[in-house]
């Protein structure tokens, strides 16, 4: 495996997910291909910053977004930091690099009305797929979990006695999330339908396809698009927008920021604060409507 020691470091010491590590490896492979084509060498340990800069320029010329370029350079930077740590290089060629400027992406959450329309007004078939799809939407909105976290849920992740869900998040960090009554009711229905499948090939994973195998991320994404395309005209419809809606609606209702941070599985409060712009807008509306001097 190319970059084996670095990959092992990311997996075993940094506890990065295999999906993240795969992205790092792909970025390094792409850089090595560029260096080989431009400078006739595959030795990326001993490149200089002008060579890296040339790679960045080539990415810009391909109309790759600054955000994506920054992510690729970040992968390279992590690799050089690792080489520095183990003593394979003496200086990091990216030590003085400044990231390309990016515009702030404002994620617009679904409104409470749009969520209610999907869960309360749209028709879900009373079969395995219909109940599964409804449960997926309910779980995203009521727990704020990530798409990969939902895909990796096990049957044993659900504790009906304590009414909680055990989630394994980034860097194998475990968190416990309370489950509300409507979700528990749908879970009971889903597990019954799941048990009636005659071709189960994966006994441990909670969410399966109709063929009895572990559900996959693109199918989850398609399920969200399918239902929310009916209820919402927003351009962006995804599991992450449901996670964003979960956090925003909790904050709008006065939830403590630290509590929301724990529910989302964020390692720092700064990561959670990106969800506060909508609740600030809500506060402004309340302030204007309620303050006795606002109508002057």
- The answer to whether residue 192 is catalytic is no
- The answer to whether residue 240 is catalytic is yes
Please pick, among 71, 170, 193, 236, the residue that the annotation labels catalytic. 170
- The answer to whether residue 243 is catalytic is yes
Exposure string over 87-100, b if 16+ CB within 10 A, otherwise e: eeeeebbbeebeee
Please pick, among 146, 194, 244, 249, the residue that the annotation labels catalytic. 146
* C-alpha closest to that of 178 among 195, 162, 193: 162
Sign of CA dihedral 29, 35, 41, 44: negative
Q: What angle do CA 177, 179, 180 make, to 5 degrees?
A: 140
Please pick, among 147, 237, 249, 266, the residue that the annotation labels catalytic. 266
- The answer to whether residue 194 is catalytic is no
Q: What angle do CA 245, 178, 197 make, to 5 degrees?
A: 90
**Is the Cβ–Cβ distance between 127 and 115 less than 8 Å?**
no
- The answer to whether residue 170 is catalytic is yes
Please pick, among 154, 193, 214, 240, the residue that the annotation labels catalytic. 240
Mapped onto helix, strand or coil, the DSSP state of residue 166 is strand
Please pick, among 243, 244, 249, 261, the residue that the annotation labels catalytic. 243
- The answer to whether residue 266 is catalytic is yes
Length of the chain equals: 296
Catalytic residues: 146, 170, 240, 243, 266, 275
């Amino acid at each position: 495996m190319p970059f084996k020691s670095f990959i092992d470091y990311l997996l075993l010491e940094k506890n990065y997910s295999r999906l993240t590590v795969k992205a790092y490896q792909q970025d390094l492979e792409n850089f090595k291909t560029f260096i080989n084509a431009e400078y006739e060498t595959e030795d990326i340990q001993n490149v200089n910053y002008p060579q890296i800069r040339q790679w960045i320029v080539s990415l810009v010329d391909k109309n790759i977004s600054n955000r994506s370029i920054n992510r690729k350079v970040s992968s390279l930077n992590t690799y050089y930091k690792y080489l520095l740590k183990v003593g394979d290089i003496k200086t990091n060629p990216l030590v003085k690099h400044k990231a390309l400027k990016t515009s702030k992406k404002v994620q617009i959450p679904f409104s409470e009305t749009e969520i209610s329309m999907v869960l309360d007004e749209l028709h879900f078939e009373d079969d395995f797929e219909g109940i599964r799809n409804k449960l997926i939407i309910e779980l995203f909105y009521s727990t704020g979990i990530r798409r990969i976290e939902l895909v990796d849920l096990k049957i044993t992740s659900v504790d009906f006695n304590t009414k909680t869900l055990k989630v394994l998040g980034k860097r194998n960090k475990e968190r416990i999330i309370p489950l509300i009554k409507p979700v528990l009711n749908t879970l009971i229905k889903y597990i019954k339908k799941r048990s009636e499948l005659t071709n189960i090939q994966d006994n441990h994973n909670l969410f399966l396809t109709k063929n009895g195998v572990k559900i996959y991320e693109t199918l989850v994404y398609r399920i969200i698009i399918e239902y929310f395309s009916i209820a919402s005209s927003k351009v962006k419809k995804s599991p992450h927008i449901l996670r964003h809606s979960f956090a925003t609606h909790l904050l709008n209702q006065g939830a403590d920021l630290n509590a929301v941070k724990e529910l989302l599985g964020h390692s720092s409060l700064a990561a959670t604060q990106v969800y506060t712009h909508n609740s600030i807008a809500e506060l402004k509306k309340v302030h204007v409507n309620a303050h006795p001097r606002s109508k002057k």
